[in-house]
Amino acid sequence: KAGVTQTPRYLIKTRGQQVTLSCSPISGHRSVSWYQQTPGQGLQFLFEYFSETQRNKGNFPGRFSGRQFSNSRSEMNVSTLELGDSALYLCASSLEGLAGVDEQYFGPGTRLTVT
């Protein structure tokens, strides 16, 4: 079974631009979560999508947004990029989380550099 895939793997953007990252979950998984990983702040939860709806949200500004499609694929968008947005963005997929939390499996991440 294929794992979680994320595209692109690397991205360089300029301050003020916007960026869209993509995540394809493991086949059969319907929940997709996004995390930001930086050396200073560690792994921080951005949001979770299930059945095309945002189910949980972390403490990030509105510049960070996401969506999920009917095939469970998800995208996250960051608008008006700031230097501090440079990070590894990780996507994690899990089954459903309806009968309790399910195991999460991570993708390789997208390394975003903002200059």
Partner 1 sequence: GENVEQHPSTLSVQEGDSAVIKCTYSDSASNYFPWYKQELGKGPQLIIDIRSNVGEKKDQRIAVTLNKTAKHFSLHITETQPEDSAVYFCAASPDSLNTGNQFYFGTGTSLTVIP
104 belongs to the binding site for partner 1 (CB under 8 A) = yes
66 with 55: CB under 8 angstroms? no
Decide whether 60 or 105 has the Cβ nearer to partner 1.
105
Contact status: 36 vs partner 1 (CB under 8 A): no
What is the smallest separation between the CB atom of 82 and partner 1, expressed in angstroms? 22
Binding status of residue 108 toward partner 1 by CB under 8 A: yes
Q: Which two tokens stand for residue 34?
A: 């996004």
Q: Classify residue 101 by its DSSP letter.
A: P
Q: Which helix (H) or strand (E) holds 23?
A: strand 19-24
In 3D space, the residue among 92, 100, 101 whose CA is nearest the CA of residue 37 turns out to be 92
Is residue 92 close enough to count as binding partner 1 by CB under 8 A?
Answer: yes
Choice between 12 and 98, CB closer to partner 1: 98
d(CA 69, CA 60): 22
| Distance in Å, CB of 99 to partner 1, minimum | 7
- Chain residues in the site for partner 1 (CB under 8 A): 4, 31, 33, 35, 42-45, 48, 50, 55-56, 58-59, 90, 92, 94, 97-109
